[in-house]
Amino acid sequence: MDECLIMMEIARKRETAIIITTVSFLITFLPYFFPIPALDVVQKYTVDWALITSYFMAIVGFYYLTKVNLIRLQKRPQGWLYGIITVILVWYMCITGFAFGTGHMSFKFFYDAIALSLTAMVGAIQGFYLVGAGNKIFRFRDVKSSFLLGAAVVILLKNAPVTTVIFPGIQPVGTYLIDILVNSANRAFKIGTAIAGIALGIRVLLGKESSQVGLATEG
């Protein structure tokens, strides 16, 4: 019993989490860059472990979702009924999925009828919001806003079939804006975010990112 407690104490330590992270990192990182055949097999196993561990999160999520909503059922705050509907649907999907498989009608129907419809509805709602926001954006206020306005007009005309027939010159200008300018800006963003990812990884390895190991108050 005491040994179990000691083991748990060690497992909960911040240093343990950092050591596991660093070793896992080295096992997956080194074979990617260097020809080390001995590490290739270990890397494959480590990646498989990571995948299996990530599926445990789904089980934790299922438990957590049920627990939170049952607590809401006891306290009955505003909107508690939505929580009950969520729990019923989650259990229904789990039971039918396990019992009949994910290809069965009873499983697919609820996903197609509810989840897909909701996603489509959000897309439709956003269309209206975007038109409203576009109405505010595309106005000539100053020189800077005129760039956005000009680009928007060109892209709108490029995508309208009639205008490209009437003004054939619009097509190459619009294509240039999308292929050259938008792509350049997009890649600059992507480079920045990739570097940020690397830098965060380094901080995690050095134990400087305390939130990664659930010790958010230390930083």
User: Which chain residues interact with other proteins by CB under 8 A?
Assistant: 32-35, 54, 57-58, 60-61, 64-65, 68-69, 75, 77-79, 83, 115, 118-119, 121-123, 125-126, 129-130, 132-134, 136-137, 148, 182, 185-186, 188-189, 191-193, 195-200, 202-203, 206, 208-209, 211-212, 214-217, 219
Supply the minimum distance, in Å, between the C-beta of residue 7 and other proteins.
Answer: 21
Supply the minimum distance, in Å, between the C-beta of residue 66 and other proteins.
Answer: 11
* Beta carbon nearer to other proteins, 38 or 198: 198
Supply the minimum distance, in Å, between the C-beta of residue 165 and other proteins.
Answer: 27
Please state, in angstroms and rounded to a whole number, the distance separating the CA atoms of residues 173 and 154: 7
Supply the minimum distance, in Å, between the C-beta of residue 215 and other proteins.
Answer: 8
* Beta carbon nearer to other proteins, 138 or 171: 138
Q: Of the candidates 29, 52, 38, which has an alpha carbon nearest to the alpha carbon of residue 205? A: 29
* Beta carbon nearer to other proteins, 105 or 120: 120
Token pair in block for residue 71? 């607590």
Q: At what angle do helices 14-33 and 2-12 cross, to 10 degrees?
A: 60
* Beta carbon nearer to other proteins, 6 or 194: 194
Please state, in angstroms and rounded to a whole number, the distance separating the CA atoms of residues 219 and 213: 11
* Beta carbon nearer to other proteins, 145 or 175: 145
Please state, in angstroms and rounded to a whole number, the distance separating the CA atoms of residues 149 and 145: 6
Please state, in angstroms and rounded to a whole number, the distance separating the CA atoms of residues 170 and 155: 8
Supply the minimum distance, in Å, between the C-beta of residue 138 and other proteins.
Answer: 9
CB 118 within 8 A of CB 110: no
How big is the chain by its Cα radius of gyration, in Å?
26
Cβ contacts of residue 134 below 8 Å, gap of 6+?
Answer: 152
Token pair in block for residue 170? 């619009």
* Beta carbon nearer to other proteins, 31 or 96: 31
Supply the minimum distance, in Å, between the C-beta of residue 211 and other proteins.
Answer: 5
